[in-house]
Each structure stands twice: as C-alpha cells, then as structure tokens.
Structure 1
Amino acid sequence: MIARRTFFRVASGGLAFALGAGPGRVQPGGPTVAAASDLSAALPEIAAQFRRRTGQNVRLTFGSSGNFTQQILNGAPYEVFLSADEAYVETLRQAGRGEGPGVLYAIGRIGLFSPKGSPVQVDGALAGLGRALRAEQVSKVAIANPEHAPYGRAAREALQAAGLWDDLQGKLVLGENVSQATQFAVAGGAQAGLIPLSLALTAPVKAAGTFALIPEDRHKPLRQRATLLTGAGATARAFYSFLQGVDARAIFTRYGFTVPGGR
C-alpha cells in the first residue's frame, strides 16, 4: 500500500524553501493564475518581470494540474492555467472552460534526487536506486501522486521502465504535488525522490544533495500547455501573451525547460 502524506502548504509565493522573500515574490492583487508546481521557482520570476515591464500584477497559486482542472470545471475563478500536462487543457477546452487549444509553453524533464547522507547513488538509469533497494537501504522514495500530478505519472513510468515500481510498493511516499515530493526528499525524510529538473536547479535543492536526469525515453513527454480561461480579463490576457515572449522563454530555459518553437 502506498503511503500518502501532505508535507507543507504550497502558497502563492511558490516553494517556500526555494524562494523565500526574494525579488521573485509576486505582490497581491490582479487575476489569479493556476500553475503546475514544477513552475514554482520559474513562474514567480516571470511574474515579477511582467510587473516590471507593465506595472500589472498577477497572483500565483501552485498545485497539481489534475486538481486544478477539477477546480476549474467546478467554477474556480482562475483566469490563466499553466498545466504540466497538455491533456488537461484539452479537457477544459471541450468543457467550454478554456479558450481554444492553448499554447505549448515548455517541455519538462524529471530526474532522481538523493539527499546528502543517502545510500542511493543517482544515475539516469536508476541503477543506484535499484542497488540500494536490493541492499535494503531504502525505506522511502518520494514522488508526486500519479493520480493527478503529471510529474508523478512520469516518475511512475520511469520506475516501471527500470523494473523498480513493484519493488517500491510500500516504500513510496506521495506528495500532493511535485513541490511537496521535492520538499520531502530535500528534508531527508526519504532516501531519494523523483523530482523536476526545474526544482533541482534551485540553489537550496542543489545544496541539499545530488541529481541526475532520467532519459526522455523512459517516460511520456512532459508537454506543458497554458490556456486562457473563460472570462479572463485584460491583465490575464497580457500575462498570457507575456508567457510566450522573449523574457519568459529565457527564464523557462534557465530552469531547464525546453521551450518549443511553435504551438
């Protein structure tokens, strides 16, 4: 049976341990943007740049893409949605809650993180994790919940490709979203975690352990799509356009995302 825990609250400032009170914090006010948790380091920087360029604010809320989709279908008053799985954007379009097909803004990557002191040696093939499992040195591995978090599904697929999924039953600890899974791995409560490259590149995560990218062919592509939601106002539309511009693309790239050339 998979253990399920909630480790900390994700607020509009993003990953608490990664962002603190620096210039990436977004001021209150403006339309609310629902964003996948793998963006909780990159998107506050983009929103701050948007504020500097335009004088307009947006409010950022981070969580799992699947949960946001259900909230939006139930009438949650978000105006922009940045999903970690483009299928959710299509679901909203078909339900009349999203405006058109949206835009593919990034392709994400996932990898294996091991905190300092862990017996797990990181590598893209997950061979080190397998050795530690066979040596009975692993009691917990953190991933996002695959039921509603796209990065959790990618983690499950990578573990299945490595032949480790069955061996990890009873040892998996699920974060409500990938930020929570990352926090648990960084805090040392798990011997390893499968986390996004975008969060692994933040200074606190780098300082806490080691990370290795998992090859892209070990899981389905993490194609991340954004959409305007029905009833979006002028500021939300301006931010949606800004997400597709040079400034935002540069920030996405710096956090390890592949930025597509088109829709």
Structure 2
Amino acid sequence: MFQMRLLLALLLIWAPLVQAEKITIAAAADLKFAMDELVATFKQQHATDEVEVIYGSSGKFYTQIQQGAPFDLYFSADIDYPRQLANLGLAGSAVTPHALGRLVLWSATRDASQMTLADLTDPAIKRIAIANPRVAPYGKRAVEALKQSGLWDKLEPKLVYGENIAQTAQFVQTGNAQIGIIALALAISPELASKGGYWLVPAELHAPLEQGFIITKRAENNGLASKFATYIESKAARAVMTRYGFALPGDGAGTGPQEDDHAH
C-alpha cells in the first residue's frame, strides 16, 4: 500500500513535467518591451511551460525560417514576410495581422519632440541612426520617409545602420548617433521614455508598418503555440499592444497616436 501511495505521489509530481511544452518565438525587435510583458502574463497561466523569445530583424528571421530555423511562431514588423512564408508552404496557420507600427525621431541628447525631419540637415548633427533597410522594415520605411520628404540626398551621408530597430535605438542611447529614426514602441518604453522625447513621423510619408504573425509549419500541431496565438488576440494582450503605441487591426486609425499630436 505504501508503495502504491509513493508511486501515485511521484506520478502527481511528474505529470506537469511530462505535459510541459516549449515554444520559441522569433519576434521583430520593435516588440521587445511589449512582448516581454505579454510573455510574462501568459506564463502566469502556463507556469510549467517554457516560452523563449528571440528578437531581431524581420528579414533575417524570414531567411532563417526558410533555412529550417526552429521557430514556432514568427512575429514580423512587415506582414509581407509571413505572407511569403505562407506562399512557400512554411506556415502552420493563417497569417494574422496584429499591429500597426509607427516611426519616430528620438534622441537622448536633444529634444526630439521639437524637431522634424527637416531639422536633421543641421550641420551639427553628424550621425543619424536608422535600421538596415535591407532586412528591417522600420529601416525601409525610414528611407521612404526621407525620400518622400526630399531629404534623402542630403541625409544619406550621415546615416549609420543598426542590424535591427533595437540596435538602432541603442546607437542613439550610447551616443554613437545623435538622433535616430526608431519605433514608437521603443521610444515610449520605460527604458527610453525617461531619456528623451520623440516626434512622430507623419504616416503619409511611408508605406504602413503593418505587422503580422504566423505559427510556423513545424509547430502546426504544437498546442502551446496555438494557445499563445489565441492569447495574442485577446483583449488583455491587445491592451498591452495599445499601451506601447501600436494601432490594432479592426480598431480604426484612432487607436494609435494622433496625427496632430506629433510632439511628445
């Protein structure tokens, strides 16, 4: 009888361990602070499961997934990347739009809230950080905004390129660039908000930063991946995204920062 009780006790202890699942998420760097918060909240309901998030450039993740990288979910700052993966048969779910990102001017040493793109031509500004437009959607949109403003030829010699939008912000934080064109979600994060104001780049100067995610083909039968995808679309998760400056699909243009309120 004692042995039976012991066996039962051990089974009860081991059961959660046996059922524990793990997912690895590839997420665009603009999601860093929002996603960290979302994962922490999700883990409260899935304490035995493991959720790992790797942040980087959407374009690099796109290439890595094609090459078989072991990611279970992919959150891209440009919805076209997951759409292309779906066309290649590498998605295990429908492509889901989840946010609309915004570009801002941000500086740790100047009051960027009182600036516009035209102010970047100031000779005192020697280095302007943007994300690498070849792999980072925010970099691509920054280039579009500068060209649409007629400033590209004057400003291109000043540009320094971050591998992703988080590294771009880091360049500005550490003084390797005096100002940067970065993601609103990073500028209003606790880490950066206390160090400088921002100016919202008018959305009409570039194509929308429509963001989307997929469960990858390798995880199409992964229960935890499905649960996380469902959670991301929940009211609570959407509230977190809104707090980090993202406009949300279906909520209208008014969800995000207002166009007539560029300076903060």
TM range (shorter): 0.7 to 0.9
Among 141, 154, 166, which residue is 1:179 paired with?
166
Structure 2 residue 25 is the aligned partner of structure 1 residue 33: yes
Aligned-partner residue type, residue 66 of structure 2: L
Among 232, 238, 242, which residue is 1:243 paired with?
232
**Other-structure match for 1:200:** 187
Alignment of 1:34-73 (within 5 A): 34-55=26-47, 56-73=49-66
Aligned-partner residue type, residue 56 of structure 2: G
Tell me how far apart the structure 2 counterparts of residues 167 and 123 of structure 1 sit (CA, whole Å).
Answer: 21
Change beyond 3 A, Cα 1:121–1:224:
closer
Please say if residues 116 and 199 of structure 2, whose CA atoms lie closer than 8 Å, have aligned partners that are also in contact. no
| Identity fraction in percent | 39
Tell me how far apart the structure 2 counterparts of residues 74 and 108 of structure 1 sit (CA, whole Å).
Answer: 27
Per-residue CA deviation, residues 110-167 of structure 1 (Å, 9 max, x unaligned), is 1101222x4x75457413223x1xxx11211000000010000111111112222111
Alignment of 1:1-263 (within 5 A): 30-55=22-47, 56-116=49-109, 118=110, 121-122=112-113, 125-130=116-121, 132=122, 136-232=123-219, 233-261=222-250
Aligned-partner residue type, residue 235 of structure 1: L
Please say if residues 32 and 77 of structure 1, whose CA atoms lie closer than 8 Å, have aligned partners that are also in contact. yes
Please say if residues 109 and 216 of structure 1, whose CA atoms lie closer than 8 Å, have aligned partners that are also in contact. yes
Aligned to 1:107, the other structure's residue is in SS state strand
Change beyond 3 A, Cα 1:107–1:124:
farther
Aligned to 2:217, the other structure's residue is in SS state coil
Tell me how far apart the structure 2 counterparts of residues 217 and 111 of structure 1 sit (CA, whole Å).
Answer: 13
Aligned-partner residue type, residue 94 of structure 2: P
Tell me how far apart the structure 2 counterparts of residues 260 and 95 of structure 1 sit (CA, whole Å).
Answer: 25
Tell me how far apart the structure 2 counterparts of residues 72 and 171 of structure 1 sit (CA, whole Å).
Answer: 33
**Other-structure match for 1:3:** none
Aligned-partner residue type, residue 176 of structure 1: E
Please say if residues 123 and 213 of structure 1, whose CA atoms lie closer than 8 Å, have aligned partners that are also in contact. no
Aligned to 2:218, the other structure's residue is in SS state coil
Change beyond 3 A, Cα 1:70–1:123:
farther
Q: TM-score w.r.t. structure 2 length?
A: 0.82
Tell me how far apart the structure 1 counterparts of residues 61 and 112 of structure 2 sit (CA, whole Å).
Answer: 35
Aligned to 2:53, the other structure's residue is in SS state strand
Q: TM-score w.r.t. structure 1 length?
A: 0.82
Aligned-partner residue type, residue 111 of structure 1: V
1:210 offset after TM fit, Å?
2.1
Aligned to 1:156, the other structure's residue is in SS state helix
1:204 offset after TM fit, Å?
2.5
Tell me how far apart the structure 1 counterparts of residues 46 and 235 of structure 2 sit (CA, whole Å).
Answer: 15
Per-residue CA deviation, residues 6-36 of structure 1 (Å, 9 max, x unaligned), is xxxxxxxxxxxxxxxxxxxxxxx82100000
Q: Give 5+ residue unaligned stretches, structure 2.
A: 1-20, 252-264
Aligned-partner residue type, residue 93 of structure 1: A
Tell me how far apart the structure 1 counterparts of residues 114 and 154 of structure 2 sit (CA, whole Å).
Answer: 18
Tell me how far apart the structure 1 counterparts of residues 43 and 209 of structure 2 sit (CA, whole Å).
Answer: 28
